[in-house]
Chains A and B, each alone.
Chain A
Amino acid sequence: MEISLNGKKTDIDEGLSLIELIEQKGLEPERIVVEYNHQVLSKEHWDKTILKEGDNLEVLRFVGGG
């Protein structure tokens, strides 16, 4: 099924939870933030959130800045 991940159409497995996707991508959960369908989603909800077709995910991390 297809979701939008950081603005790109991305194919993922059905029934995948958000935390599973994050792990698949090799990211450290404690170092990133997620906006799920335009709402900030705190970390305690990541394992309960099962991704659905058409979901919009923004995954961000800190970079250098002034």
Chain B
Amino acid sequence: MYDKLVIGGREINSRLLVGTGKFPSNSIIPDVIMGSGAQIVTVALRRIDFDSEDENMLNYIPQNCILLPNTSGARNAEEAVRIARLARASGCGNLIKIEVISDNKYLLPDNQETIKATDILSKEGFVVLPYMSPDLMAAKRLVDAGAAAVMPLGAPIGTNKGLKTREMIKILINEIELPIIVDAGLGKPSEACEAMELGAAAVLVNTAIATAKDPVAMAEAFALAVKAGRKAFLSGTGAVKEYAEASSPLTGFLA
């Protein structure tokens, strides 16, 4: 069956995207990426600290991966645009995940500023993947602004709480033509599977893998769950009924 995820005109061979933050050591990242089967891998951009020895994340990401830099640290559209332009200057491609956050307690994205940044960057030729609070009107505006996909959160970043925004995400899946990638909050493979069963095009997972006791095995578990969920979605799940319905005929019983 032909079932490829397409983002910005490019075929992506895995519906699991992984983040590279919070791992106990960078040295396990290559195995995590391998185990996850992910092709798109997120990274962030930060100032170099000249007073400390620091490693470059790029040394740990396999060459065949597509880098998805985020604009974390941006508090408004202007800062997101600045970070995006810098990221592109690194030569890592034109994908960008817009992340505009000014709320430090819940790290919830600012949809309005995200729409503004999406509009500017898509006109500059970026393939824009905006992280957003699942809201239908905001998602429609992101489509108009030229987004390549829409990335609603399942729960606040790093909480591992699961698909708390399920109903809102379902509305986005039904109403928005672009791929819906559930980003943030998914804590367990079953929750990633649930998002895929609903019809999400992909999921992005970082904390749940990075903070697992065995991150490599957890990456493999997420990969299986995403495949299972996608297959279930394509198979068309059966209807939910209020009352029992026997699986065998209710005739021909022994007298």
Contact = CB atoms under 8 A, between A and B. Distances in A.
Contacts of B158: 66
A42 B90 CA distance: 8
A66 B157 contact: yes
Given A6-B50, A65-B43, A66-B206, A31 B20 contact: no
A64 B21 contact: yes
Contact of A33 (B44, B57, B86): B86
Interface in B41-72: 42-50, 54, 56-59, 67, 69-70, 72
Given A64-B21, A65-B21, A40 B48 contact: no
Given A28-B56, A40-B85, A40-B89, A64 B43 contact: yes
B179 interface: no
Interface in A21-56: 25, 27-28, 30-35, 40-43
Contact of B70 (A42, A59, A65): A65
B19 A64 contact: yes
A66 B48 contact: no
Contacts, number: 101
B44 A42 contact: no
A33 to B, nearest CB: 5
Nearest to A65: B44
A19 to B, nearest CB: 15
* Count class of interface residues, chain B: 35 or more
Interface string B1-36: 000000000000000000111110010010000000
A66 B46 contact: no
Contacts of A28: 56
Interface residues of A, number: 25
A61 B46 contact: yes
Contact of A62 (B58, B183, B184, B207): B58
A16 interface: no
A65 B87 contact: no
Q: Which of B42, B50, B158 has the most CB of A within 10 A?
A: B50
A21 to B, nearest CB: 11
B10 to A, nearest CB: 20
Q: Which of B26, B57, B67 has the most CB of A within 10 A?
A: B57
Contacts of B26: 64
A66 B45 contact: no
Given A33-B89, A33-B90, A61 B207 contact: no
A1 interface: no
A64 B90 contact: no
A58 B50 CA distance: 12
11 contacts: A33-B87, A40-B89, A43-B89, A61-B46, A61-B48, A61-B57, A61-B58, A62-B44, A62-B45, A65-B43, A66-B206
